[in-house]
Structure 1
Amino acid sequence: MATAIDARQWTEAEWAARRQLAACYRIFDHFGWTELIYNHITLRVPGEDDAFLINGFGLHYSEIKASNLVKVDIDGKRLDSNAGPINPAGFMQHSLFHRHVLDAHCVIHTHTTAGMAVASTREGLQPTNFYSAAFHGQIAYHDFEGVTIREEEGTRLLANLGDKRVMILRNHGLLVMAPTLPEAFLRYFLLERACAAQIATSQAGTPMPVPDEVIAVHQRDLQAMQAFGSPGAPDFAAMVRVIDRIDTSWRD
């Protein structure tokens, strides 16, 4: 019989953040954006700018729950009783952005097939479809330096990121950050779709780039549409309803 979780050990705000992040992991699993026990989605703890939540190393995304997320500070100190290990590569990269990018409250990094395929091309993401045109001019690139465990790479990661909040790690994968988890989720969903569509396009025939003047109008109109409400909130809520119909254990 499962042991009941006493959420009173966390503040109401942290428990809500834990549930939101756990739901996001389950949504990523639902879409197949998983890599065994690797990759990470992290979220700052509300009211604690130096603390964030991360998945414990060894857990599959389908096993993530609100209660088994690990709370850690940007220096690597554990801030809760969860004893699970943390992937050093994930901690190094995510703590870097949480420390230095003030609006990076949620950070997502994946190794999906579509993302890695586009990241492994000289051209990177090209404005040849509805989604990729929306990202044109808004993506940073960082050259592959091997597994991300060396602190000195952080300086180059930040320099290459600049004022962008979406980065393609060449030969590696995708990186997205945003002020809220729902906005990061939506941004990632659109980027993943852009990459998948680009791969399908290359198999279907000769890619047809969207003209610059159309890209400008497209991005302007998309920005105007997102001005109402909280970006990504209804999209994320819809996916929470989907996973709730499958399994509600992420709430524990």
Structure 2
Amino acid sequence: MNAVHSLSEISLKNKVSAEEWKVRVELAASYRLIAMYGWDDLVFTHISAKIPGTEHFLINPYGLMFEEVTASNLVKIDLQGNKVEESPYDVNPAGFTIHSAIHEVRHDANCVMHTHTAAGIAVSTQKEGILPISQQSIFVLSSLAYHDYEGVALNEEEKPRLQADLGRANNLVLRNHGLLTCGKSVADAFLTMYTLQRCCEIQVRAQAQNAELIPIPQAVLDGAAASMKKATNGAGAGIAWPALLRKLDRVNPGYDA
């Protein structure tokens, strides 16, 4: 813990651009929020965010709990996995494989979020995947893809298949593995993950009742994008993100250090 303590006192706020610092703060906040909602998996899984105007991205220091992540201790790497700046921390090799694959081809995906929640994995094991049975599911199904399990994501040869399966979708179910979301910002990726996670929780609970499930009509599914835009007054994730940061400031401050 000494390394964590000493590193947390070395702020990068005045050593990086204002644009990079903003991304660092928001990414660190997303790690804390994942922990707050109980979606973390010890020190495993990962969230990445691109630094504007570069091919570099930030990812968590491997070995830290998510509630320990700060803006300054995030690790900056390139698409080849090389550290761009000195850091005492390593990067999760599976995290590098998954995130570098997506950032390499999805230039609109400035943030990529991956989780191993019980509900997410439970649904990822189901052959039919996400079912159209909840309001949350209509938003997920409007931009959803699947990727078959190939073992722990350490093989560079898997990257083209992951890229092809994701395509232009923002929700990805990694079969037998977990969930992944993409967004043009950290806020977008988080709200997308929140919706996907809640969708899986509802599905698992609904299935546990052993009752006949009511599918949502296709016409309703087709109007999901317009419905979301209207429901958020056109603000998208921006309608919830400031409130999430205020809550985080109350329950787990320090992410912006």
TM-score, normalising length: structure 2: 0.92
What is the aligned-residue RMSD (CA, Å)? Answer: 1.6
Number of equivalent positions: 250
Q: Where do 5+ consecutive residues of structure 2 fail to align?
A: none
- Supply the distance in 2 between the matched residues of 1:183 and 1:6 (Cα, whole angstroms): 25
1:70-81 alignment runs, 5 A limit: 70-81=75-86
Partner residue in 2 for 1:34: 40
Distance in 2, matches of 1:193 and 1:28, equals: 13
CA deviations on 1:5-51 (whole Å, 9 max, x unpaired) are 35211111111111111111001100001000000010001221x10
1:91 paired with 2:96, answer: yes
13, 16, 19: which is aligned to 2:19?
13
Q: Structure 1 residues 126, 223: CA separation in 2 closer, same or farther (over 3 Å shift)? A: same
Matched, 1:221 2:227: yes
Q: Which residue of 1 aligns with 2:249?
A: 244
Partner of 2:113: 108
CA distance 1:77–1:218, change in 2 (3 Å): closer
SS of the aligned residue for 2:40 comes to coil
Written as runs of structure 1 = structure 2, the 5 A alignment for 1:47-62 is 47-48=53-54, 50-62=55-67
Q: Structure 1: give runs of 5+ residues left out of the alignment.
A: none
Aligned counterparts of 1:8 and 1:42: Cα–Cα separation in 2: 22
Partner SS state of residue 29, structure 1: helix
Residues 142, 224 of structure 2: 8 Å contact kept: no
Match of 2:175 among 170, 175, 181: 170
- SS at structure 1 position matched to 2:14: helix
**Identity across matched positions, percent:** 36
Q: Does 1:203 align with 2:208?
A: yes
8 Å contact from structure 2 (residues 70, 255) kept in 1: yes
Which amino acid is 1:148 matched to?
A: A
Q: Do the aligned residues in 1 keep the contact of 2:32 with 2:66 (CA within 8 Å)?
A: yes
Give distance in 1, aligned partners of 2:73 and 2:12.
12
Conserved 8 A contact 1:126-1:133: no
8 Å CA contact retained: 1:140, 1:168: yes
Query: TM-score w.r.t. structure 1 length?
Result: 0.94
CA displacement at 1:217 relative to structure 2: 3.5
Give, in whole Å, the separation in 2 of the partners of 1:139 and 1:247: 32
